A = this chain, B = another copy of it.
């Protein structure tokens, strides 16, 4: 019977989607190790980062930035609020909206996370030169139609 080492992968190894998934699994695993006891996912870190850079934004704004449905954002903010990292304040100008703010705890955690995530980035790209890393980001961006900064 075929052993794992002898498996014929046919054309699977020629497909971008295959390598994207493998790379993402590896990167997410490394992310989890890098943040360790902070115990946060890339998605929640992204939400925290954007709230930190845009205090007072609405859930709709954040959903748009993260390309998530606004119903999905509810549970994202629920999680962050349960951990006292973020708070919903009633927006005064439009009482349908929640203005999202980091708590002091959230700000501290974000600061710690940023240095851990920076280390994580160096770690996953340790076999790539700085130029190669930039090429990789550029090529990925062209895959999904993202513009430069």
Contacts and interface: CB of A to CB of B under 8 A. Distances in A.
Find the residue from A20, A121, A127 having the highest chain B CB count within 10 A: A20
Contacts of A128: 139, 142-143
A42 B12 CA distance: 10
A54 B10 CA distance: 9
Query: Interface on chain A toward B: helix, strand, loop, or mixed SS?
Result: helix
A19 B61 contact: no
A124 interface: yes
Interface of A: 1-4, 7-28, 31, 42, 46, 49-50, 52-54, 56-58, 61, 64-65, 67, 91, 93-94, 97, 99, 114, 117, 121, 124-125, 127-128, 132-133, 135-137, 139-146, 149
